[in-house]
Amino acid sequence: MINNNSLYLPEIARIVSVRQLTEMEKYFEISTEGKKEFSFNPGQFVQLSVFGIGEAPISISSSPFNKDTVGLCIRRMGDVTTAIHKLEIGASVGIRGPLGNGFPVRELKGKDILFIAGGLGLAPLRSMISYVLEKRKDFGRIIILYGTKSPGELLFRDDLETWRQIEDIELIITVNRPDKDWTGRTGVITRFIPSLELEPQNTYALVVGPPVMYKYALLELQEKLIPENNIIMSLERRMKCGVGKCGHCQINGVYVCLDGPEFRYHTLKFLSEAI
Amino acid sequence: MRVLIDKKDIGFFFESLKEENTVYGVKQKEPGFYVFDEAETFSDPLDKYTPTLLPPKKYLFPQKETLLKFSTTPSLKVKQLIEFKKQVIFGVRPCDIHGIKLLDKVFTTDHEDKNYTQKRANTIIIGIDCMKPCYKYAYCESVGCLDVEDGFDVLLTDMGDCFYALIGTAQGEAIIRKNARFINANKSDDEKIKCMKEERRGLFENKFATDISNLPLLFKNADNDPVWDELNDRCLGCGRCNIVCPTCYCFDVFDCVDLNMSSGERCRQWDACTLKDFAVVATGENFRSTRGQRLRHRFNRKFNYLMTKHNTSFCVGCGRCSRSCPVKIDVVETVNAVVNNRKTK
């Protein structure tokens, strides 16, 4: 999708819907209005431009079967994401991508999938979860562990409710700091790994969350004897170009934009600066 | 093809190239300090040469360049900008020719970067070979960059009263035929050049304690080497070593808005992996927060990461970083410390 004749030139796209998910996150649907079909793998990302402010890498949250729009869950953090939060339906933005590789969808077929999402980590995993639900028969067990700091930070509540209703999905939601209305599970997400009964050789763990979560998730997954090849993590790095030139996302010898953003633990364990 | 150009005719060659190109040559900025700059006449210091303050990289990958121009009113319009012009860089030394060859690899591998390749395609490189170590910081021989076989259009070698000009490309042949007064070189000239090149071997006192090909593995196993702790205490994190390097190409990208607040440019500008914020992510985590880690990253790029990816040293031995470091962090000393620390293990 990246054209070498215009490596840094974004497509002009329009915001077609905006939904406030939490205090910090909004969900934007963006369309190139038929100029370009948007094909991507779950786990890929785009470089999103607000002209005059800059460009930022954002993972794709929408289903890969919807090729008309691309859905981006954006936390208000830096200059670009703050500017995007001020935009409304109809506003023009720039989009480059999809970039990166995404999850190894074919390899995952027939396997049990354990999704572990911490906080904003649900954003890239939602695309893969949508894929798995669309092709439900192609996969084994589906387990979704999702945790946030507080109940107010839970993303995509409609989806969580839908997933809860689906019988053959095991959904575990937890918050670290419950409020007085919270009736669900509490505690860090990795606490809920030990009680899972998994078939390690047939299970793939897709893990996305803050760096601190990776350390504990890895310990628990290794305790469960999940092979290192089957633990796939998506990494966040600063990116300027998204095409392997600018050097910002480099971790030891790999580029997150070109070689990732998903990495297997058996690759990551040799990268001292990864997590 | 190789020809001889009389020294009194080199100025003619230089000036004749200006008819169709912007010609950059080596100029003295202060005594002993040289720069590449647009030059009226040929004034290369030849055997008094020391590497220019900045490498000629600046003409192919400018310190700042515009990638896009945009306007947001009445409706959003964006167009890309790829700027280039016909240019000649005259007097490029073997280390810098190797530097340009490495940038060629970087900007054509994985994705082609047209902002670079279009400038490169419109650039003529006239090299001047080095017959002796230029200054104490140079170690080009250690990294295999003293000899250069390609990457130039013409390579000049100073033979006293004339230049021996080795033609590297069809374009090189065309400009020699069109712009130079020359006579054909003969076998005895070739022999003389061969001898001169042999004689310059082994003259570099500044050298690595091991063969360059051993470095990727040595560096791979040196993540916890005490040398990084020692450098952590000395390095100022100023980024000078990055800025003067012929093979550093990391960049930042940012938007500049005009005063009308509706039009502007997206620019890229040299960045430096030794600067503190280089690897900070949105959530505030810094994956290389210490100066020692960032310097380790820089050394690994030269001798491990990029060397492994492209199968060639990403340091060309010009010694500019050692010369410009305010706290005298020296590449050869650092590499040799890593080599020796590995040996004693």
Q: Which pLDDT score, from 0 to 100, does residue A3 have? A: 73
pLDDT band for position B83 (cuts 50, 70, 90): very high
Q: Does residue A109 share a domain with residue A69?
A: no
Given A66, A99, A132, the domain boundary residue is: A99
B282 contacts chain A (CB < 8 A): yes
pLDDT higher than 60, residue A1: no
* Claim to verify: residue A207 and residue A228 sit in the same structural domain: yes
Q: Number of Cβ pairs closer than 8 Å across A and B? A: 124
By the 8 A CB rule, do A143 and A234 touch?
A: no
Per-residue pLDDT tens digits for A46-91:
999 999 999 999 999 999 999 889 999 999 999 999 999 999 999 9
Mark whether A35 and A13 lie in a shared domain. yes
Nearest Cβ partner of B253 from A94, A246, A251?
A: A246
**Interchain CB distance below 8 Å, A8 and B115:** yes
Q: A203 and A134: one domain?
A: yes
What is the model's pLDDT at position B56?
A: 98
pLDDT of residue B180: 93
- On whether any CB of chain A is under 8 Å from the CB of B46, the answer is no
Q: Does the pLDDT at position B115 exceed 60?
A: yes
**Average pLDDT for B301-307:** 95
Query: What residues of chain B lie within 8 A of the CB of A90, using their CB?
Result: none
Predicted confidence at residue B218, as pLDDT, reads 94
Domain count, chain A: 2
Instruction: Tell me if chain A has a CB within 8 Å of the CB of B67.
Output: yes
In a domain, A11, yes or no: yes
Inside any domain, residue A19: yes
Interchain pair B70, A51: CB under 8 A:
yes
CB-based contacts of B217, cutoff 8 Å, min separation 6: none
Question: In chain B, positions 198-237, which contact chain A (CB-CB < 8 Å)?
Answer: 223
Alpha-carbon distance of A207 to A190, in angstroms, equals 11
State the pLDDT confidence band at B282, using cuts at 50, 70 and 90.
confident
Q: Sorting pLDDT into bands at 50, 70 and 90, what band is B345?
A: low
Name the token pair of B331.
């590449």
Domain match, A166 and A220 both? yes
* pLDDT category of residue B143 using cuts at 50, 70 and 90: very high
Statement to judge: residues A68 and A130 lie in one domain: no
Residue A156 contacts residue A126 (beta carbons within 8 Å) = yes
- Please check whether residue A70 lies inside any domain of the structure: yes
A49, A74, A99: which is the final residue of a domain? A99
Report the pLDDT value the prediction gives residue B283, as an integer from 0 to 100.
80
CA angle A203, A204, A209 (to 5 degrees): 135
Which residues from chain A sit within 8 angstroms of residue B250, using beta carbons? 246-248
Q: What is the mean pLDDT of chain B?
A: 95
When pLDDT is averaged across residues B159-179 and rounded to a whole number, the result is: 96
Nearest to B7 by CA among B154, B162, B126, B160: B162
What does the mean pLDDT of chain A come to?
94
Distance from CA of A153 to the nearest CA of B (A): 15
CATH of the domain at A165: 3.40.50.80
Residues A92 and A198 occupy one common structural domain: no
Query: Minimal CA–CA distance to B52: which of B62, B38, B37?
Result: B37
- CA dist A140 and A199 (Å) reads 11
The b-or-e profile of B242-280 (16+ CB within 10 A means b, else e) is bbbbbbbbbbbbebeeeeeeebbbbbbebbbbbbeebbb
- Output the pLDDT for position A79: 93
**ipTM for the predicted complex:** 0.92
What's residue B338's pLDDT?
95
Nearest-by-CA chain B residue for A82: B282
Task: Tell me whether residue A271 is in a domain.
Answer: no
pLDDT, tens digit (0-9, with 9 covering 90-100), for B229-277: 999 999 999 999 999 999 999 999 999 999 999 999 999 999 999 999 9
For position A81, which CATH number holds? 2.40.30.10
Contact between A240 and B268 using a beta-carbon 8 Å cutoff? yes
Partner-chain residue, chosen from A9, A51, A236, that has the shortest CB–CB distance to B76? A51
**How much is the average pLDDT of A176-183?**
94
Which residues of chain B from 295 to 334 reach within 8 Å of chain A, CB to CB?
Answer: 297, 300-301, 304-305, 308-309
Query: DSSP letter string over A219-260?
Result: HHHHHTT--GGGEEEE-----SSSSS-S-TTEETTEEHHHH-
Same domain flag for A153 and A71: no
Encoding tokens for residue B68? 């896009």
Q: Which of A99, A117, A134 delimits the end of a domain?
A: A99
Nearest Cα to Cα of residue B264 among B72, B65, B64, B62: B72
Across A173-195, average pLDDT: 95
Asked whether the predicted pLDDT for residue A158 surpasses 90, the reply is yes
Distances (CA, A) of A134 to A37, A63, A157, A161, A171: 19, 9, 19, 17, 17
Same domain, A153 and A172: yes
**Full domain range(s) for residue A64:** 4-99
A109 and A87 fall within a common domain = no
**Residues ≥6 apart with Cβ < 8 Å to B305:** A250, A252, A253
Q: Is the pLDDT assigned to residue A183 strictly greater than 90?
A: yes
Sorted by where each begins, the domain ranges of chain B are 2-199, 212-343
If you average pLDDT over residues B180-190, what whole number do you get? 94
Looking at residue A113, its pLDDT comes to 98
Closest CB to A244 among B76, B110, B252: B110
Q: State the pLDDT confidence band at A273, using cuts at 50, 70 and 90.
A: confident
B135: nearest Cα among B267, B6, B305, B324:
B324
In a domain, A203, yes or no: yes
Residue B276 pLDDT: 94
Q: How far apart are CA B89 and CA B175, in angstroms?
A: 13
* Mean pLDDT across B143-159: 96
Q: A181 and A144 in one domain?
A: yes
Q: How far is B78 from chain A (nearest CA, A)?
A: 8
